[in-house]
């Protein structure tokens, strides 16, 4: 089972991927996390990738592709993987074709209005990065009913996992989020078009709490014959 997951910032794709991967016994590979770890660990590559990551620009393809190849060789990825954050452009997609075969693409859809509301009400732990959400969305947009309950910490402003302080990311302002969505649209469209012609494409509407969206994704993968019941 080798999947790619696409979805705009704030769609929750990282959360879904991190929950689906253990259910299916496959690896969750996130290039953004791999790059952040390299920077944090002061790896020899850190100085090369830091300027790009800090500006929100794409790290040069040859670096990211090499990192991806390493991830794919890890034992955890032997029975499959879900790729999150890769490929980001057509050259990366074509490079991936040379490295491995992709069975399907999961495309997460969420209305931009919901994304803006979700991101601006997101709170992140300064210490461990755990994410919470203080908004309670319950409305119909474009014919879809969105029911997204809040994910509150037990103690206001404190992380349940480590007790760290919660804060709102600098890029969570509505105008910045709108810009990030625009960048995502421009960046991902050619890649999505590329895969839509090549592999089974599973469209997911993320209009409920993560647990329910995850169940929906698994159900859709089963219906499409992309995973087998006995796998999980
Ligand atoms: P977000 O989804 O919030 O943009 P990610 O965690 O996916 O963030 O990525 C963070 C940063 O890491 C990106 O802004 C970019 O600099 C770099 N990055 C992640 N994946 C790739 C990739 N496939 N190609 C090039 N750069 C990448």
pLDDT (average), residues 214-219: 94
- Stretch 2-20: mean pLDDT, rounded? 93
Contacts of 211 (CB under 8 A, 6+ apart): none
Which mutation among 5, 85, 176, 185 tests ligand 1's pocket best, with the greatest number of atoms within 8 A of CB?
Answer: 85
3-state secondary structure 116-159: HHHHHCEEEECCCCCEEECCCEEEEECCEEEEECCECCCCCCEC
**If you average pLDDT over residues 214-224, what whole number do you get?**
93
From 70, 139, 161, 169, the catalytic residue = 169
* pLDDT at residue 230 greater than cutoff 80: no
Inform me whether the pLDDT recorded for 47 exceeds 90.
yes
Mean pLDDT of 49-67: 92
pLDDT for position 54? 85
Alpha-carbon distance of 53 to 39, in angstroms, equals: 9
Instruction: Report CA(215)–ligand 1 centroid distance (Å).
Output: 27
CA of 54 to the centre of ligand 1 (A): 10
Task: Look at the pTM and tell me if it is higher than 0.85.
Answer: yes
Residue-wise pLDDT tens digits, 88-125: 999 999 999 999 999 999 999 999 999 999 888 999 99
Q: What is the mean pLDDT of the chain?
A: 92
Choice from 31, 99, 188 to test ligand 1 binding pocket (greatest atom count within 8 A of CB): 31
């Amino acid at each position: 089972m080798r999947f790619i997951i696409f979805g705009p910032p704030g769609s929750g794709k990282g959360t879904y991927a991190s929950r689906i991967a253990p259910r299916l016994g496959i690896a969750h590979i996130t290039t953004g996390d791999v790059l952040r770890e390299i920077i944090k660990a002061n790896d020899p590559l850190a100085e090369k990738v830091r300027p790009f990551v800090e500006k929100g620009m794409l790290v040069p393809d040859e670096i990211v592709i090499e990192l991806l190849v390493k991830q794919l060789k890890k034992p955890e990825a032997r029975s499959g993987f879900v790729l999150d954050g890769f490929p980001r452009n057509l050259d990366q997609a074509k490079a991936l074709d040379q490295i491995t075969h992709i069975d399907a693409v999961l495309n997460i859809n969420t209305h931009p209005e919901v994304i803006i509301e979700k991101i601006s009400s997101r709170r992140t732990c300064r210490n461990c990065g755990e994410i919470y959400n203080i908004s309670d969305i319950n409305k119909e947009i474009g014919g879809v009913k969105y029911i997204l309950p809040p994910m509150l910490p037990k103690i206001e402003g404190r992380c349940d996992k480590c007790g760290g302080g919660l804060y709102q990311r600098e890029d969570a302002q509505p105008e910045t989020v709108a810009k990030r969505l625009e960048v995502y649209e421009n960046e991902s469209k050619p890649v999505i078009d590329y895969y839509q012609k090549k592999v089974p494409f599973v469209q997911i509407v993320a209009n409920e709490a993560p647990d329910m969206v995850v169940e929906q994704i698994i159900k859709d993968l089963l219906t499409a014959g992309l995973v087998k019941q006995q796998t999980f």
